[in-house]
Each structure stands twice: as structure tokens, then as C-alpha cells.
Structure 1
């Protein structure tokens, strides 16, 4: 059991350290810097669309998800704090889910 944990820890450490080992003394390639700017918004868009798939059916869960998403957008535009927006959106989703 301890050997398995050690192997998993070493693999995890290597995967985390690999980019730093590859690019420690030279500049990142252009394609990689472009990818690092485009990939996070693309991933977030896919996650948002996946989370809002129930919203199309106008079920109670879908409506609460849509309202919570609106709360997240407004709170992020207001405070520019990701943690606060996610926390507030989760609380609102749970409240709307039980109230609607």
C-alpha cells in the first residue's frame, strides 16, 4: 500500500514539475503562449454550457441553474473575485432549487 502511494506521489510530482523542467531557461514557444491564453476561456465555456444543459428544459433545476448563473455573472462583474462568485452562485443555486 505504501509503495502505491509513493508511486502515485512521484508521478503527480513529475507531472507538475515537467513544464518547469522543460521551459526553465528558454522562452515559451509562440504556439504554447497562444494556447495558454485561449484554452482557459474555451474550457470554461464548455463547462458552463454543460452545467446549463438542464436550463433548456425549463425544469426547476434548470431555472435555478440559470438564476444562479446570472448571480455569478453579476457578482463577478461587481467584485472581480472568483471565489466569492462561485460561493454566492452555489448558495443561490441551492436556495433557488429548494424554493422553486
Structure 2
């Protein structure tokens, strides 16, 4: 394999392109003329909130509130994320902003 690229790499790239394409086109193929099923509507409506709850549980799961700094970094991160979301009302900004704020607290305090 000196200098030449194996055909396996091209096949793998082609498969990845097709899978990526069909995952993007899938909703348009199946829901083009009718309303999506209730579970899809539910997921669309509540999935961002579920992600935020998972991040909060992940952040707070192993904190020992009896030891210094008493979980203050994590609590500040959760409150910052909540305030960010209440003021801006954008899940993406809330998740990324809160995560960046929390990671800055962990690294610099």
C-alpha cells in the first residue's frame, strides 16, 4: 500500500455519504403529505428540555455537598444555564453557554 489508496476507503466513504444523505432525507420521504405521528411531535417538542435535564443530572450526580467547595461550581453552572435559557429562550445557546460557563468554572476556580 505504498502511495496508493485502497478501494476499501472509497467504499467506506461512499457508504458514509449514503447513510448521511438518507438520514437527512428520511423525514421528508415519510412525512411529506401527512402529519407526523404523535411520538415524533412529542420528541420534537420536548427533546431539547430532556437534553438539558440529562446534562443537569450528569453534572450533579457525583457531587459531595459535604466537602469544599460544596458543589458551588455545579450549582452556579445550573443557575447560569437556567437564567440564560429564561432570558434568551434558545435551547442551543443555553446548552452550549451553560456548558462553557461550567467548564470555565471547573478549569479556573
With structure 1 as the length reference, what TM-score do the two structures score? 0.70
Task: Quote the residue 1:8 is aligned against.
Answer: 16
List alignment gaps of at least 5 residues for structure 1: none
Contact 2:60 2:74 in 1 (8 A): yes
1:16-31 alignment runs, 5 A limit: 16-31=24-39
Match of 2:89 in 1: 80
Q: What number of residue pairs does the alignment pair up?
A: 98
Q: 1:16-59, CA deviations, whole angstroms, 9 ceiling, x for partnerless residues?
A: 2111100111222344324433444334323321232133x136
Q: Give the match for residue 70 of structure 1.
A: 79
Tell me if structure 2 keeps the 8 A contact 1:52–1:65.
Answer: yes
Q: Separation in 2 of the partners of 1:11 and 1:30?
A: 25
Please report the TM-score for the alignment, with normalisation by the length of structure 2. 0.65
Deviation of residue 90 (structure 1)? 3.7
Structure 1 CA distance for aligned equivalents of residues 95 and 47 of structure 2: 20
The CA distance in 1 between the partners of 2:25 and 2:58, in whole Å, is: 31
